[in-house]
Amino acid sequence: MATPSQFLKFVDDNADRFIKRLGEAVAIPSVSGDGKYRPEVFRMSAWLDGQLQSLGVTTKLVDLGKHVMDDQELPLPPAILGRIGDDPKKKTVLIYGHYDVQPAQKSDGWDTEPFTLVVDEKTGKLIGRGSTDDKGPILGWLNVLEAHKTLGLELPVNLRFCFEGMEENGSEGLDDLIKTEVTKGKESWFDGVDCVCISDNYWLNSRTPCLTYGLRGLVYFKLTISGPARDLHSGVFGRMVHEPMTDLITIMGKLVTPDGTILVPGVEDMVPSAQDDEIAIYEKLDYSVKDVEDAVGAPITLSQDKVSVIMGRMRLPSLSLHGIEGAFYGPGAKTVIPASVSGKFSIRIVPPQTPEAIEPLVKKYVEQEFAKLNSKNKLKIENLHDGRPWLADHRHWNYEAAIRATEAVYKRSPDLTREGGSIPVTLTFAESLGVNVLLLPMGRGDDGAHSTNEKIDRSNFIEGSKLLGTYLYEVGAIKA
């Protein structure tokens, strides 16, 4: 089934309007990880639901209940389930995306307002929080739907949608929803799904499209050390008492070496080393140390060897220190001894590691190291959220369809990649539905997801919308 040229032309002809719609989505600050924005996450769900309905999709908003975040009970934003098409002769594709975003403030170092989409006509960048992660890709699907509705074209497949608003915060509630939904048999919204497509990651570089068949999992820890009943003056109490911040920094300094080696005993040993055939795959990828330097904006890779740098992201675990809550933060030179501080760190995990195996190793090690300090302060370590790693069979027809679609739109074959980030629900879909999951990214490696000045290139948004549509035609062309 060739992709109709009217569809491709429609996307080109309506590019400016599609970008305006992306601007509407970016303007809703649907930050899931900060309680004060929770109403905005709800507003975003209503906006997206409205868009889907107006494009002919039947939807259901599923209430996922409540959760506690930063000691505050909050309602979870709904999952949006959608369906369009019920032709038993067609394949059924389930599409997942997330409508929540990472926090952003201009004062973090943005050049523009993060929640105002700025179109840089000179560079073609569409700049704003969520532009690439993950509002751009979600809107790519809306663009495909709109083109078909307006042109009166039949969709080549039946579509099912599952959009969530808590992905950036561990996808709370979604696993349970999917597991419950699949038990409903014929009544399930996922009944008859043949494959899953997720557009929520990025090309390795800024040139070569890719398909992704692996993701790392994650275990996120909060390590709290508390001592005095209140913040203290360091001139009055310094060297008289155990200081929580000193204890915390000492322990955080024992988690990982500056060259990335994880010091928690047992964590590194779980991962088998790469064989020659696997190394050959990494050697062939269109990705260089220079690409990493360009993406991070400085020549700071852990090695000058391309394969060892790539393996750090694709097939090795990593431990990152994220921040310290409760520490003195801000201008000036306050002479405070903070009473209670919480260090946040996470470990990206790879097969065969699981959160269940990693969590006790970390807790035991941290407790042992704290005991060595002989501190009278109190320690608490919590797992805030976790997700398992995922690997798929990239020889599956779902990937073959995406390869053909990429070749049609970009006139080149995609790289096949494993990714360092995490999308916890991927494995849940693969296991609960028993179908192949494909990651089909829209944006580029230098888009700056989670960072300041996040962007998606106009051409990635527009060609990417064509890619998503063309992929559906390629799946539709596969014989049952």
Residue 417 pairs in a beta bridge with: 212
* Token couple for 442: 């829209």
Select the residue interacting with Zn ion from 200, 291, 369, 447 (CB under 5 A).
200
Q: Which is nearer to Zn ion, 134 or 291 (CB)?
A: 134
Rounded Cα distance between 459 and 226, Å, is 50
Select the residue interacting with ligand BES from 138, 379, 423, 435 (CB under 6 A).
423
Q: Residue 311: in which H helix or E strand, if any?
A: helix 306-314
Select the residue interacting with ligand BES from 419, 447, 457, 463 (CB under 6 A).
419
CB neighbour list of residue 222: distance below 8 Å, 6 or more residues apart? 325, 342, 343, 344, 381, 382, 384
Select the residue interacting with ligand BES from 78, 82, 424, 445 (CB under 6 A).
424
Give, in order, the Cα–Cα distances in Å from 128 to each of 16, 136, 164, 250, 453: 16, 10, 20, 37, 6
- Pair 76, 172: CB distance under 8 Å: yes
218 binds ligand BES, rule: CB under 6 A: yes
**Closest residue (Cβ) to ligand BES?**
421
* Token couple for 462: 């527009």
Please identify which of the residues 49, 146, 164, 167 carries the catalytic annotation: 167
Residue at 466: amino acid letter: K
Select the residue interacting with Zn ion from 100, 134, 454, 474 (CB under 5 A).
134
- Pair 209, 406: CB distance under 8 Å: yes
100 binds Zn ion, rule: CB under 5 A: no
**Binding site partner of 419, from ligand BES, Zn ion, none, Cβ cut-off 5-8 A by kind:** ligand BES
Q: Check if 63 is active-site.
A: no
Long-range pairs, 323-326, Cβ under 8 A, ≥24: 324/245, 324/248, 324/252, 325/222
Number of residues forming the site for ligand BES (CB under 6 A): 16
Please identify which of the residues 40, 49, 100, 194 carries the catalytic annotation: 100
* Token couple for 82: 């959608």
Short-list 451, 446, 457, CA closest to 203: 446
Binding characters for ligand BES, 264-303, by CB under 6 A (x = yes): ----------------------------------------
Binding characters for ligand BES, 164-193, by CB under 6 A (x = yes): ---xx-x-----------------------
Rounded Cα distance between 452 and 102, Å, is 10
443 binds ligand BES, rule: CB under 6 A: no
146 binds Zn ion, rule: CB under 5 A: no
Q: Which is nearer to ligand BES, 209 or 387 (CB)?
A: 387
Q: Check if 100 is active-site.
A: yes
Report the nearest approach of ligand BES to the CB of residue 137 (Å). Answer: 9
Report the nearest approach of ligand BES to the CB of residue 208 (Å). Answer: 15
- Provide the strand spans (E) within 128-234: 158-164, 195-198, 210-215, 217-226, 232-233
Question: Catalytic site residues?
Answer: 100, 167
Q: Residues at the annotated binding site for Mn(2+)?
A: 98, 133, 168, 200, 450
**What is the contact surface with Zn ion in residues (CB under 5 A)?**
133-134, 200
Q: Residues at the annotated binding site for substrate?
A: 200, 233, 335, 348, 422, 450
**What is the contact surface with ligand BES in residues (CB under 6 A)?**
133-134, 167-168, 170, 200-201, 218, 387, 419-424, 449
